[in-house]
Structure 1
Amino acid sequence: MISLNTSANLSQAVNLHENIHERGVMVVDDSSMHRYSAHLCLRAFGINQVYEAANGKLAMDQLGQLAQVPAVMLLDLEMPVMDGIEVLQQLAELSHKPAVVLASSSDEVLISAVATMAEALGITLLGAFRKPVNPTDLADALNSYNSGICPLDAASGDAVSTDVGQLKTALDRARIQVYYQPKIDLESMRVAGVEALARWKNHQGEWVQPSVFIPLAEEHGLIGDLTLSVLDQVLQDMNSWWDQGQYIPVAINLSAKSLAEFNLANEIIQRVIRQGIPAHYLTFEITESALVVDLPSALATISRLRLKGFGISIDDYGTGFSSMQQLSRFPFSELKIDRSFINGAPARQYMRNILKSAIEMGQRLGITTVAEGVETEAELHLLKSLGCKQVQGFLLARPMPGRDLIGWVEQDLQRKSTICQTSSIG
């Protein structure tokens, strides 16, 4: 599973989350040699709790007997009795499940398909590789475990439930706050802008996931109110930043239901004018799926906003079924490449080819390419080598309140620049 020529000083580059040290890692592989090499590598990383299983059934039986589930499972795909795909399906049924690193001798296309399946099942996937796995790739995968812990950015345990009454109250009392995740220009390593993200901590102090309250807002006709509430907070924060000499562009997400609201464009335009913010400092991100819900309304809203000078970004590019058609229909100024095309690309040639194609598409159209969900240095350097313009992700910055952003900009840019200067391009 793991290449045996592990660098002696590689452990110095591994900064593992405490959960991995406390709960350990399980290696599931029918090859005793691969289990042994993985065990040695994990020990070199300072992981003392390492479990082993020779097939999927033994692994699931062992999980049922342990007092706490290991933090990570290194999972082979081709195994007797129960293969890795079956293991993933069974893991999806567990209330507490490990994050997964896939390793297989299968071809890259099959590994990628299984990786997509795992993520669709709600499993935290840290990496998917062909055997033998390079220790550096494994280190990057384990390091990225940190990105799955923050309650603002990933589900932790059971999702907090809510209802439309609580949502209305939260909107009325301005309890849904805006956090910002920086986007970094890969040439200058300076902040190119931020994405505004709605965050809601209920009256009990629990974080309600956006995947819970945004569909609820759409279902009950509150998505327009939520969108305008986010916009108002963004404009207030932008004026505060401008007072401090920081002119930071902001991207705001628009849902499919928002695009269908007849007066939304007018409301946005009027509020921005009242606050005195030039339109070109604001970009509205729209997912591909939103563009096919109500095409005439979407075209009308997007075209009006673009006409007034706002940027329009196609979000999660490549996850829909008509990307080329959407690019030809809508006046986009930005193309955001989905995380699914970045994860694993440094280690897989065909994934790099797909990623390169998306970036070149943006270049040919003269629009900015932004890669989202960047979690490893290898991904960062690959994107830079391919000519991607901007990146965002946990490697560079987590979402933060507006009051913290200026401090981050002033104190943290030097470290981000060091990442590109001290590491070799992948």
Structure 2
Amino acid sequence: MGYLDKWLQRSVMVVDDSATHRLLAVGILQDLGFSKVWEAENGMDALNKLQALDSVDLVITDLNMPCMDGVKLLENIAATMKGKVQFVAVMSGVPRDVLDAVQGVVDASELDLLEVFPKPLRREEVERVLDACNPDWHLPSRGGSKFTISRDEVSQALQLKQLVPYFQPKISLKDNLLCGVEALVRWEHPHYGVLSPSLFVEYLEDGELAIRFFYHFLRDVCTALLHFQAVRPELHASINLPVPLLSDPNLVDEMTTIVQSKGLPSESIVLEVTETSLMSNLAPSLGTLARLRLNGFGLAMDDYGTGYSSMKQLSRSPFTELKIDREFVHDASSSPKKLAILTSAIAMCQKLQLSSVAEGVETESDRQQLAALGCDVAQGYHYSRPLSEEMFMLWMQERGA
């Protein structure tokens, strides 16, 4: 099983009024090695069984069911069992736009939604989703409560050099060649293994700890990039820049010093800033963004489509690339609304002379759709999950990058 070994003792409940689809899903999960798989025929049956259990790691539910439908079940879980259920997923045969609406409902409830699966459930889709949530899934509880991490623990991890970059490839859709990497932080914890940033990133987005971490992380990324460039000389690296750091008066000079001390040109580093956080603080950030560009750094607007940027704001901002959020990328061909937004975003990049980068590319169908629309760069699990420096170097060598 490889990476799935961590989940073999975890518990799953499958909720579906169709015995055929329910048994198919149970069979897939058992085949993957899950030893605790419960079944429920509808939402009411699921609630009754959940109340009798101490906890369930994952609930996979259908939507259209008698007695209590899947949407009502998820609302009940959010209201009364959020601490008992770690993750939820939806599987249904309803139209894609309805599934998208349900995903919005679940997001608003703050449940941890892994995926919205179309029916019938497929093994490869389950494996892909479990792989994606790998860092969070196998965490132990602390005294039976939800796993939490303190700011002091994160600060200590930084001092012990346990916060390290993992790298995900960015692939040119014009020639299918590696053109860049995104550096993503992971915590290599001595007891819990590799931890996802979702557990601690809030401490790295503001304040003194965020500043210390950013410069430390930049140094590590530059060191790794030098090794990668021995195989692929024109490679660049993207790293996330929290918007509050744009108010640091030393940011541009400190970054330039670090990059140059590593023997790299500033053009080899691209700074990613999320759309939502930037557009709420755009005016005071423009000066620093302009200085970064003047010093050669690339700038990317991250998670485009999740905020409220306007064409006027984009035209005033010195970005070099725009990263289209995965919400509008994966399986866009099956959703007319997603496809319309994706098409519009790529066309806008072309008009504004920005490089278009699609996140969340998970299938060959995703890649083909993006290439047909003229997207420049693709990134996602279709190519590779984020890898340690050593594993990424092996990935490049095996691929002949």
Query: Do both share a fold (TM > 0.5)?
Result: yes
Q: Which of 358, 367, 370 lines up with 1:371 in the alignment?
A: 358
- Residue pairs, 1:17-32, within 5 angstroms: 26-29=14-17
Task: Report what 1:287 is aligned to.
Answer: 274
Taking a change above 3 Å as real, the CA distance of residues 41 and 155 of structure 1, as seen in their structure-2 partners, is closer
Q: Deviations over 1:86-118 (max 9, x none)?
A: 21223341433454133254x644431211232
Kindly indicate whether residue 380 of structure 2 is the aligned counterpart of residue 396 of structure 1: no
Pairs within 5 Å for 1:140-159: 141-151=125-135, 156=139
- The correspondence for 2:158, drawn from 171, 178, 185, is 171
Name the CA distance, whole Å, in 1 between partners of 2:29 and 2:97: 33
Cα separation, 1, equivalents of 2:387 and 2:393: 10
State the match for 1:417 in structure 2.
none
Alpha carbons 2:270, 2:298 under 8 Å: kept? yes
Q: Would the aligned equivalents of 1:102 and 1:115 in 2 still touch at CA under 8 Å?
A: no
Do the aligned partners of 2:97 and 2:335 also contact (CA within 8 Å) in 1? no
Match of 2:111 in 1: 122
Question: Are 2:249 and 1:266 equivalent residues in the alignment?
Answer: no
Residue type at the aligned position of 2:313: Q
> Closer, same or farther in 2 for the Cα pair 1:164/1:303, shift >3 Å?
same
Matched, 1:331 2:314: no
SS at match of 1:197: strand
Aligned length: 387
Contact 1:26 1:70 in 2 (8 A): no
Distance 2:151 2:22 in 1: 49
- Report the counterpart of residue 320 of structure 1 in structure 2: 307
Matches of 2:122 and 2:61, distance apart in 1: 10
Segment of structure 1 superposing worse, 295-304 or 107-116:
107-116
Q: Is the 8 A contact 2:180 2:238 kept in 1?
A: yes
**Aligned residue number for residue 32 of structure 1:** none
Structure 2 residue 72 is matched with structure 1 residue 86: yes
Give the C-alpha shift of residue 224 in structure 1: 1.5
Contact 2:43 2:70 in 1 (8 A): yes
1:317 to 1:227, Cα distance in 2 relative to 1, 3 A: same
Number of the residue aligned with 2:289: 302
| Contact 2:42 2:67 (8 Å CA) reproduced | yes
- CA separation of 1:68/1:220 partners in 2, compared to 1, >3 Å: closer, same or farther? closer
Cross-structure match for 1:347:
334
Q: C-alpha offsets along residues 295-318 of structure 1, whole Å, 9 cap, x if unaligned?
A: 343111111111222111000001
Runs of 5+ consecutive residues of structure 1 not aligned to the other structure: 1-14, 30-34, 415-426
Distance in 2, Cα, partners of 1:154 & 1:412: 29
Give the RMSD, CA atoms, in angstroms: 3.3
Partner in structure 2 of residue 96 of structure 1: 85
Q: Which amino acid aligns with 1:409?
A: M
Supply the AA of the counterpart residue of 2:112.
Answer: I
**Superposition deviation, residue 286 in structure 1:** 0.4
Cα pair distance change 1:97/1:272, threshold 3 Å: closer
Distance 1:203 1:39 in 2: 39
Shift of 1:334: 0.9
- The 3-state SS of whatever aligns with 1:86 is helix
1:382 aligns with 2:366: no
Separation (CA, whole Å) in 1 of partners of 2:396 and 2:75: 42
- Decide whether aligned partners of structure 1 residues 117 and 138 sit closer, same or farther in structure 2, where only a CA change above 3 A counts: farther
3-state DSSP class of the match of 1:397?
A: coil
Which segment drifts farther, 249-258 or 296-305? 296-305
Which amino acid is the alignment partner of residue 384 of structure 2? A
Asked if 2 retains the 8 angstrom alpha-carbon contact of 1:126 and 1:141, the reply is no
1:40–1:225 CA distance, 2 compared to 1 (3 A): closer
Letter in 2 for 1:127: V
Q: 1:394 to 1:155 in 2, by over 3 A?
A: farther
Q: 1:119 deviation in Å?
A: 3.9
> Where in structure 2 are the equivalents of 1:402-417 lying within 5 Å?
402-412=389-399
Q: Please, which of 176, 183, 187 is the counterpart of residue 196 of structure 1? A: 183
Deviations 1:206-252 (A, max 9, x none): 54542343322445422121111111111112223334564421001
Deviation at 1:287, TM superposition (A): 0.3
Q: Distance in 2 between matches of 1:288 and 1:238?
A: 26
Change (3 A) 1:410 1:267: same
Secondary structure class of the residue paired with 1:404? helix
Distance 1:113 1:383, change over 3 A: same
- Counterparts of 1:149 and 1:275, CA distance in 2: 34
Deviates more, 1:36-45 or 1:230-239: 36-45
Is the counterpart of residue 111 in structure 1 residue 95 in structure 2? no
Residue 209 of structure 2 is matched in structure 1 by 222
Q: Which runs of 5+ in 2 are unaligned?
A: none
Judge conservation of contact 1:70–1:98 (CA < 8 Å) in 2.
Answer: yes
Does structure 1 conserve the Cα–Cα contact (< 8 Å) formed by 2:165 and 2:183? Answer: yes
The 8 Å contact of residues 279 and 308 in structure 2, kept in 1 or not, is answered as no
- For residue 21 of structure 2, the aligned residue among 33, 38, 50 is 38
Q: Measure, in 2, the Cα distance between the counterparts of 1:259 and 1:209.
A: 25
Q: Distance in 1 between matches of 2:162 and 2:29?
A: 42
Q: Counterpart amino acid of 1:145? A: V
Task: Assess if the C-alpha contact under 8 Å between 1:16 and 1:142 holds in 2.
Answer: no
- 1:187 equivalent to 2:170? Answer no
Asked if structure 2 preserves the Cα contact closer than 8 Å seen for 1:108 and 1:350, the reply is no
SS in 1 for 2:208: coil
Separation (CA, whole Å) in 1 of partners of 2:195 and 2:129: 21
SS of 2:166 mapped into structure 1: strand
Contact conserved, 1:200 with 1:207, CA < 8 A, in 2?
yes
Q: 2:101 and 2:226 mapped to 1: Cα distance?
A: 45
Q: TM-score, normalised by structure 1?
A: 0.78
